[in-house]
Each structure stands twice: as C-alpha cells, then as structure tokens.
Structure 1
Amino acid sequence: MLDQTKEIQVEIRTWAHTDLPLLHRLNAPEMLDHLGGPETEEQVLNRHQRYVEIEGKGQGIAAKAGELAIANAAVEKKRRHIHAFPSIDNLASNAICRKLGFQLVEECSFEYPPGNFIRCNDWRLDLGT
C-alpha cells in the first residue's frame, strides 16, 4: 500500500529480515526520549526477531502474561480496577481483554506516545479489593 504524502513515499508492509537497519536508525535518544531511551544492541536484535518471527503470535503468550499481571495485582491489593486500552482496530488484544474477564467500558482517545492520540477501547477488570 503506497501513499504520496508531501512527495514522500510511505509504504506499509510486513516486517522483513532486511529491516534491521531501520531499527538501528530509530534507536536514537531523540526518537525514544518518551519511551525510556535507546535500547542495547541485544534488545534491538531481540525486538527485530520478534517482529520477523510471527510463530509466537496466537500461542497464548500475551494472555498468559495478562493472567500473571492480574494475579500479581490481586495479591498486592493496591487498586480495585485494572484498565487496558488496546486500539479499537487491534482485534487480538481486545479478544484477550474479553478472555481475561475485562468489561468494555467505552471507546475513548488515549495519548501514546505524548502528542499522538489513538482511538481505543477502555476495558476494566474489577479486582474486588
């Protein structure tokens, strides 16, 4: 899918092994200032591997991570509710919220990173503390 925006070509496609140099270029302080700063070389390589290898998707890894986070929050008893804000277009993440027992509150705007608003669903889980 190509689009001409101010004479700059933009292409959206599946991540490929040959895209590693892009991650290196984006791994700069000015690009990652609001996201915790640049990553180590090992972190960049690990992220690239996750982007390329889709075998891990759909295997329940995110759902299991969610279960563990919920269990930890329930033990801590610091908050009554947990919220999740997946993009309205992220069907997999919305399905995980539903599977984990979250209730859909409403569609809303969420700012992430600062200055970038996305349309997302506000899911809430009552921990009953």
Structure 2
Amino acid sequence: MADIALRLWGDQDLWMLHRANSAEMTAHLNGPETDAEVVDRHARYLRYVETGEARMFAILQEARAVGSIGYWHLRWNDHDVFETGWFMLPEAQGQGLTRRALALLLDDVRLHRGDRRLLVAFPETDNPASNAVCRGSGFRLRGTTTETFRGADLVMNEWVLDLADSAAS
C-alpha cells in the first residue's frame, strides 16, 4: 500500500486547482470556475493556512501531490461545526486514497477542534465516490439540502460525524 500523507497547502499547489477545474472533475459541483476564480481560491487557501481560519492540505502519495482535502468553520443548523471537502486527481482515483486522507484529516481536526463537536460534508447526491467516502468513514447521513452553488441549484447529502466519537475514524 502506497504511503500517504497530508501537507499544508502551499504556493506550489496552484497547479492542482487548475487540474481539478475540468468539466469531468467539477461535474458534481455545477461545472468549472474561471481561471480568475481558481487563482482566488488558491489565494484563499494560502490565507487560511497562514491565519488558521481553515486547514487546507495537499494529499501526497509517495511524496507526490495527488489531491486536496481540508476543513473550515461553518454555522450549520444553529451549531458551530467544521465542514470538509476534497478532490482527488483522476490518476489517483479508485485506490482508496481519499478515505485514507480523510482518516489523517480526522486526526488533525480532533487536535484543533476546540469546542466544535461536528464535522459535516455535503457531496452532491449523485456523487457515488464522495458519498461512499463519507459512509465508509463513519459519517451519518442526516438528509439532503439544496443550495445555490456556482450559479445553479446543487442537491447535496448532509453527512455528519461526531468528532467526540473516537470509534468514527
């Protein structure tokens, strides 16, 4: 099994956001962003890492960047929670790496969670891979929600993980 690790997001990671901005990779996110939006996302990730506002990571397989994962503050259902999201580049998909990266992320979340008890994820309902990652990582399906994302409605599952539950990793 290949070594996998997380590294805080850095200047060298902009290329991954450009690679992940294809029609194929954004099919469950209402399509790609503009180049300017990708550059802005990268700048936000760098700022988040610098300020501690969020924790954004490159996923490394054998020391090579193959995706991204992170978590950030969210107010959800009248609770202060963390939200998580990820992507895996096409050449690294289907190997179980996202679930392994999420397990590493959960260790980090638990170290930095303060009084936040919940981690939530909102994959599109028709995204079997991301929903399987949630299901296989101990999240509980709470329902669905529809939000406007990138200018169109996006129907998402609401997955919730209790961070205090040490068995859910």
Structure 1 length-normalised TM: 0.58
Of Structure 1 and Structure 2, the greater strand share is in: 2
Q: Percent identity?
A: 30
Q: Which residue of 2 aligns with 1:75?
A: 111
Higher CA-based Rg: 1
Q: What secondary structure, in the 3-state scheme, does the structure 1 residue paired with 2:125 have? A: coil
The RMSD of aligned alpha carbons is 3.2
* Structure 1 residue 77 displacement after superposition: 2.9
- The 1:65/1:110 distance shift into structure 2, 3 A limit, reads farther
Matched residue count: 92
- The 1:83/1:34 distance shift into structure 2, 3 A limit, reads farther
Of Structure 1 and Structure 2, the greater helix share is in: 1
Unaligned regions of 5+ residues in structure 2, if any?
A: 1-22, 26-31, 44-64, 67-88
- The 1:116/1:34 distance shift into structure 2, 3 A limit, reads farther
Write the distance in 1 (CA, Å) between the matches of 2:38 and 2:92.
29
1:89 aligns with 2:126: yes
- The 1:35/1:65 distance shift into structure 2, 3 A limit, reads farther
The ranges of structure 1 where at least 4 consecutive aligned residues each deviate by more than 4 angstroms after the TM superposition are: none
Structure 2 length-normalised TM: 0.46
